[in-house]
C-alpha cells in the first residue's frame, strides 16, 4: 500500500524521505541535470503520469515550486479540496514537490494549490500537463502520449525531405480558420476532419510541408496561439492529443512534413499559467525592464535561470519526440536577441558589457539548437528574425546561433513595397527588387509571405497589387513567379494561393467560394504549377543557399523593369533562365543573353490563359544566335508578355 502523508500546514512543509518507499521518477542525476539547465526530457519526470506503485494504479504528480510552503493536488476526485492531498518537497533543495495518489487515472481534471512563502494562495494548472480543458476552462487533465505510429517510412527517409539541398515549400496555416464545418460554420474542424480535407488539398497543390501556427494550449483564441499557457499540450479545441498525432501521422504517410510554430519568447499573465507561478517571478524576470514585453503585454522568460532553460528545451524536444514534428519555426527571435527591443531609452537594462544584446537569450538559443540537432539531426529549426543579427543560420561552433534557416524579412518587405507601386513608378524603385541578392547568401533564407502580411489593416496580397482587376491578378502571379525562382526555400500563408480578396480573419473560414471564379482559379493553378516546377527542377533547390546557384543576366534595366537571371544546380544541363517583365507593356523582339548555345524551351509562363493570363503570343522555344548580349556569347529574341514571367530550360541535344 502506498505510504500515506500527514496533513500539511501552510507553514511546515513535509520533506520527502529518500529512505522511504515514496515514489519518485527523479534520480540524483536527473536533479543535477535539471539544476544545471541540461535536462532536456523533463516531460518524462515532471507533470502527471499514470503509474503502478506497490500494486496500486494511480497517478504520480511532480511540480517545480521552490518558493512554496504547501502544495497539494485538487480536482474533481476530491471535490477540489485544497488540503486533502498534499505533496512533499524533495530533500535535495531542487524545489520539486511530488506525490502519488492511488485511484486517479487518465481523464482526471486537476490543478495545484500552492501556498507561497510570499503569502500568496494560488491555483495553478500544471506546466507539464499533456492535456488541458478546452478554453475558457483552465484545469489540467491527466493524460498520456501513447500512440501507435505508422509513419516509419517517413521517419526513416525524412533526412532527405528536410535537407538544405532539397526543395521545401511550406504552406503556413491557422488551424481554426482554414475551413469550418460546412453544416455549422461556427464549429471548428477536428484534427481528424482536418486530416480528411487538408491532406488531399496539400498533395494536389504540391506543397512539401505544412506549418501550423501554435497548436499548444492557449486561453485567448484571438492571440492565434501565440499566448501559450499549456506548452506541452496540444489545444483541446480540436480534439485529443492522439487525434493530433493521427493528423501528423497521416501527413507523414502522404509524404508531407510538419513544422510547428514554437514560442519561447514570451507567455501571458493569466492567473492559472506560468506567471508568478509560486508567488515569485519563477519563469520570468523579476525586473519588468527585462521581464515584460511591451508589444504583447506578456512576460519574458528568464533565460539565465537554468531550470527555465531545461523547461524550454525540453518542450522543444517534446514536440519532436512525442509528436514526430519535422521542424520548429521559432517565433519573435529578434525580440529575444535585443534587450532594447520595442523599448525607449531608460526602459531597458544594458548587458554586462554595456550593449543591447541579450547574452542569456543568445546562449539559450545556441543551446536549444545544439540540443535539437544532437537529438534530431534530420529536422529543421527556422528563425523568424527580422534584424541583421549575424550568423542566425550558421553553426554554433563558428559563433552562429545554429538555426537551420532564417526568414528573409528584408526580401519580403522590399518585394511587397516594390510590387505595390504602379508599374510606371517601378523604375524609380528598381533597387528594391534587386537588392536582396546582395545578401541572399549570408544566411540560409526562407522566403515568407506569412500571416503577418495579411492582417492589421495591411489587406490581402491581391489588394496590395496596383491596377485594375486583371492587372492585380497578373501582378500577384508575377510576385509568386519571382518568389519561387528566387534563391531560398518558400513559405506561403493560406489563402494567398487562391487570391483571397479580403484580409485574413482568424474567426472565419477562408473564402473557398472564390475558386468558382476564373481569376482565382488561375492563381491557384499557378501556385500548383510553381510548386511542381520548384520540386522538379534541381536548379531551383540544389544551391538555394550558395551564390554559385544564381547569376544575374540583366539586373540593371530599371528603365524597362525587366529582370533576367539564371538559376543553377549541380549539373549544367539543369540550368534555368528566368525572365520577368514587371510592367504591363508587352515587349516584342526583346533580345536576351543566353547562358549557353542551343534551343531554350519555355517550361512555365505566368501569362498563360490557364492561369487567367492574357495569352500574349510568346514563342515556346528560343534558338540561340552567336550575338554577344548581356555579357553572354549567345543570345536570342523573345516576346515578353505583359506583367508576365517566363522560365526556360535548355533542351538536351
527 pLDDT higher than 50: yes
407 pLDDT higher than 90: yes
32 pLDDT higher than 90: yes
Superfamily of the domain at 171-264+302-329+373-397+405-540: Glycosidases (3.20.20.80)
Q: 181 pLDDT band (50/70/90 cuts)? A: confident
Q: What is the pLDDT of residues 51-103, one digit of tens each?
A: 999 999 999 999 999 999 999 999 999 999 999 999 999 999 999 999 999 99
Size of the chain, expressed as the number of residues it contains: 653
534 pLDDT higher than 90: yes
19 pLDDT higher than 80: no
21 pLDDT higher than 90: no
Q: Is 538 helix (H, G, I), strand (E, B) or coil?
A: helix
Mean pLDDT over all residues of the chain? 95
Q: What percent of the chain has pLDDT over 70?
A: 97
Q: Are strands 599-605 and 621-623 parallel, antiparallel or unpaired?
A: antiparallel
Q: Which CATH architecture has domain 547-650?
A: Sandwich (2.60)
What is the CB-side half-sphere exposure of residue 135 using CA atoms within 13 A?
21
| Pick from 315, 325, 330, 319: nearest CA to 383 | 330
Q: What does the alpha-carbon distance between residue 240 and residue 236 come to, in Å, rounded to a whole number?
A: 6
Cell numbers 513559405 label which residue?
491
516 pLDDT higher than 70: yes
Residue 528 CB burial class (10 angstroms; 0-12, 13-18, ≥19):
middle
Q: Is 616 helix (H, G, I), strand (E, B) or coil?
A: coil
pLDDT of residue 8: 42
366 touches 374 (CB < 8 A): no
pLDDT of residue 3: 39
Domain with CATH 2.60.40.10 in the chain: 28-142
Over range 113-140, report the average pLDDT: 97
190 pLDDT higher than 50: yes
pLDDT of residue 7: 42
Q: What is the pLDDT of residues 552-603, one digit of tens each?
A: 999 999 999 999 999 999 999 999 999 999 999 999 999 999 999 999 999 9
473 pLDDT higher than 70: yes
Q: What does the alpha-carbon distance between residue 410 and residue 447 come to, in Å, rounded to a whole number?
A: 10
**CB within 8 Å of 438: residues ≥ 6 apart:** none
Q: 220 pLDDT band (50/70/90 cuts)? A: very high
268 touches 138 (CB < 8 A): no
| Pick from 276, 375, 372, 292: nearest CA to 330 | 372
Q: What is the pLDDT of residues 238-287, one digit of tens each?
A: 999 999 999 999 999 999 999 999 999 999 999 999 999 999 999 999 99
Superfamily of the domain at 28-142: Immunoglobulins (2.60.40.10)
11 pLDDT higher than 60: no
Catalogue the active-site residues.
331, 384
Over range 345-374, report the average pLDDT: 96
Contacts 24+ apart (CB under 8 A), 139-142: 139/75, 139/109, 139/110, 139/111, 139/272, 140/48, 140/109, 140/110, 140/111, 140/230, 140/233, 141/107, 141/108, 141/109, 141/110, 142/48, 142/50, 142/59, 142/104, 142/105, 142/106, 142/107, 142/108, 142/110
Q: Which residue has better confidence, 14 or 562? A: 562
Q: What is the DSSP string of 47-79?
A: EEEEEEETTEEEEEEEEE-TTEEEEEEEEGGGT
Q: 412 pLDDT band (50/70/90 cuts)? A: very high
pLDDT of residue 20: 65
Q: What does the alpha-carbon distance between residue 500 and residue 586 come to, in Å, rounded to a whole number?
A: 27
Q: Tell me the CA end-to-end span of the chain in Å, nearest whole number.
A: 82
18 pLDDT higher than 80: no
Domain with CATH 2.60.40.1180 in the chain: 547-650
Residue 192, C-alpha cell as written in the block: 481528424
Residue 21 CB burial class (10 angstroms; 0-12, 13-18, ≥19):
exposed
**CB within 8 Å of 630: residues ≥ 6 apart:** 553, 554, 564, 592, 593
Amino acid at each position: 500500500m502506498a505510504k500515506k502523508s500527514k496533513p500539511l500546514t501552510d507553514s511546515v512543509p513535509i520533506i520527502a524521505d529518500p529512505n522511504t518507499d515514496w515514489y519518485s521518477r527523479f534520480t540524483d542525476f536527473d536533479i543535477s541535470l535539471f539544476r544545471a539547465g541540461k535536462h532536456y526530457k523533463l516531460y518524462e519526470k515532471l507533470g502527471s503520469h499514470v503509474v503502478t506503485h506497490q500494486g496500486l494504479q494511480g497517478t504520480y504528480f511532480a511540480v517545480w515550486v521552490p518558493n512554496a510552503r504547501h502544495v497539494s493536488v485538487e480536482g474533481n476526485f476530491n471535490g477540489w479540496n485544497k488540503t486533502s492531498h498534499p505533496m512533499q518537497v524533495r530533500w535535495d533543495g531542487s524545489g520539486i514537490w511530488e506525490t502519488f495518489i492511488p485511484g486517479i487515472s487518465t481523464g482526471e481534471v486537476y490543478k495545484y494549490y500552492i501556498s507561497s512563502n510570499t503569502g500568496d494562495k494560488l491555483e495553478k494548472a500544471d506546466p507539464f500537463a499533456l492535456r488541458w480543458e478546452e478554453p475558457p476552462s483552465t484545469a489540467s487533465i491527466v493524460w498520456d502520449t501513447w500512440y501507435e505510429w505508422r509513419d516509419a517510412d517517413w521517419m526513416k527517409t525524412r533526412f532527405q525531405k528536410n535537407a538544405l539541398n532539397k526543395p521545401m515549400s511550406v504552406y503556413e496555416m491557422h488551424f481554426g480558420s482554414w475551413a469550418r464545418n460546412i453544416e455549422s460554420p461556427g464549429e471548428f474542424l477536428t484534427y481528424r476532419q482536418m486530416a480528411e480535407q487538408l491532406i488531399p488539398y496539400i498533395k494536389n497543390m504540391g506543397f512539401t510541408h505544412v506549418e501550423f501556427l501554435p497548436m499548444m494550449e492557449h486561453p485567448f483564441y484571438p492571440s492565434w496561439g501565440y499566448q501559450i499557457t499549456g506548452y506541452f499540450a496540444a489545444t483541446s479545441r480540436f480534439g485529443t492529443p492522439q487525434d493530433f498525432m493521427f493528423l501528423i501521422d497521416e501527413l507523414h504517410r502522404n509524404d508531407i512534413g510538419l513544422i510547428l510554430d514554437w514560442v519561447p519568447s514570451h507567455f501571458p499573465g493569466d492567473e492559472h499559467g506560468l506567471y508568478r507561478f509560486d508567488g515569485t517571478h519563477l519563469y520570468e524576470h523579476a525586473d519588468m525592464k527585462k521581464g515584460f514585453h511591451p508589444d504583447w503585454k506578456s512576460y519574458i522568460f528568464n533565460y539565465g535561470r537554468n531550470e527555465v532553460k531545461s523547461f524550454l528545451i525540453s518542450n522543444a524536444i517534446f514536440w519532436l519526440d512525442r509528436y514526430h514534428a519535422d521542424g520548429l519555426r521559432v517565433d519573435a527571435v529578434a525580440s529575444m536577441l535585443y534587450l532594447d527591443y520595442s523599448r525607449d531609452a531608460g526602459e531597458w537594462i544594458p548587458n554586462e558589457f554595456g550593449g543591447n544584446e541579450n547574452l542569456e537569450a543568445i546562449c539559450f538559443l545556441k543551446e536549444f539548437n545544439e540540443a535539437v540537432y544532437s537529438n534530431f539531426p534530420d529536422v529543421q529549426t527556422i528563425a523568424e528574425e527580422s534584424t541583421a543579427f549575424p550568423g542566425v543560420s550558421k553553426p554554433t561552433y563558428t559563433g552562429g546561433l545554429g538555426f537551420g534557416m532564417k526568414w528573409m524579412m528584408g526580401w519580403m518587405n522590399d518585394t511587397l513595397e516594390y510590387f505595390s507601386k504602379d508599374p510606371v513608378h517601378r523604375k524609380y524603385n528598381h533597387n528594391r527588387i534587386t537588392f536582396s541578392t546582395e545578401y541572399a547568401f549570408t544566411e540560409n533564407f526562407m522566403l515568407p509571405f506569412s500571416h503577418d502580411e495579411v492582417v492589421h489593416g495591411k489587406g490581402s496580397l491581391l489588394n496590395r497589387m496596383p491596377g485594375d482587376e486583371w492587372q492585380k491578378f497578373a501582378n500577384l502571379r508575377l510576385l509568386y513567379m519571382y518568389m519561387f525562382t528566387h534563391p531560398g526555400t518558400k513559405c506561403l500563408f493560406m489563402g494567398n494561393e487562391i487570391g483571397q480578396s479580403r484580409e485574413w480573419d482568424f474567426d472565419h473560414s477562408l473564402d473557398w467560394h472564390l475558386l468558382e471564379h476564373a481569376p482565382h482559379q488561375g492563381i491557384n493553378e499557378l501556385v500548383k504549377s510553381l510548386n511542381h516546377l520548384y520540386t522538379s527542377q534541381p536548379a531551383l533547390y540544389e544551391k538555394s543557399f550558395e551564390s554559385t546557384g544564381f547569376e544575374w543576366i540583366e539586373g540593371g534595366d530599371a528603365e524597362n523593369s525587366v529582370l533576367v537571371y539564371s538559376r543553377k544546380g549541380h549539373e549544367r544541363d539543369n540550368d534555368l533562365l528566368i525572365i520577368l517583365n514587371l510592367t504591363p507593356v508587352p515587349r516584342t523582339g526583346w533580345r536576351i543573353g543566353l547562358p549557353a548555345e542551343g534551343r531554350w524551351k519555355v517550361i512555365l509562363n505566368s501569362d498563360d490563359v490557364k492561369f487567367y493570363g492574357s495569352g500574349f503570343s510568346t514563342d515556346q522555344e528560343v534558338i540561340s544566335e552567336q550575338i554577344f548580349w548581356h555579357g553572354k556569347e549567345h543570345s536570342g529574341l523573345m516576346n515578353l508578355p505583359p506583367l508576365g514571367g517566363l522560365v526556360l530550360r535548355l533542351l538536351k541535344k
